[in-house]
Amino acid sequence: MTAAVRLSDLQPSHRSDIASIVRSTGVFSEDEVGVALELFDEAHGSRLSAPGASDSREPTAESPDYEFVGAFLDERLIGYACYGLTPATDRTYDLYWIAVHADAQRSGAGAALMTEVERRLEERRARLLVVETSSRDDYAPTRRFYEKRGYAERARVRDFYAAGDDRVVLSKRLVAAPAPATAGQ
């Protein structure tokens, strides 16, 4: 019998696992691995910095810039998602990263992570979740993954990442927005 995927928040000790997961996928450059780690460090900054150190960029428990959830098989971190509130919007969130270790893909971890992110955001009455990805052929499974979960392409910026590599923006409505008030109400 296969062990079930368990979802949990991440701790600073998971930093090296994040790097391993992102590298294992084979689609991210070392610069992109660095970005994934920067977001992780920012989210866990208060726990990574020296005692008494102060950094005004650190997120607070009340309003973190980046939130993480991990997928575990037994005690091994096999995947994670990073998301956050999009500044200056009405309950719109960005999914910054979702990655599952290459040897754990097709385990259901990616679907479990997406379901958990959406569940957490629906509890907050988030309206919209936005995802950006690449148009490269090696990202076709990623785009299908989102489409199967109800995400639709909303925009495309040609040659954004590099010549022939478009930025593809997808989104999914989570909670219906209240109807706008009409004059006289």
Q: What is the pLDDT of residue 91?
A: 94
Q: What pLDDT is stored for residue 38 in this prediction?
A: 93
pLDDT score of 154: 98
This prediction has a pTM of 0.84
**CA–CA separation, 34 vs 48, rounded Å?**
16
CATH superfamily for 5-48+63-173 is: Gcn5-related N-acetyltransferase (GNAT) (3.40.630.30)
Whole-angstrom distance, CA of residue 30 vs CA of residue 49: 24
Q: Exposed, middle or buried: residue 28 (CB in 10 Å: 0-12, 13-18, 19+)?
A: middle
Which residue positions in the chain have pLDDT lower than 50?
A: 1, 46-63
The residue ranges of every structural domain in the chain are 5-48+63-173
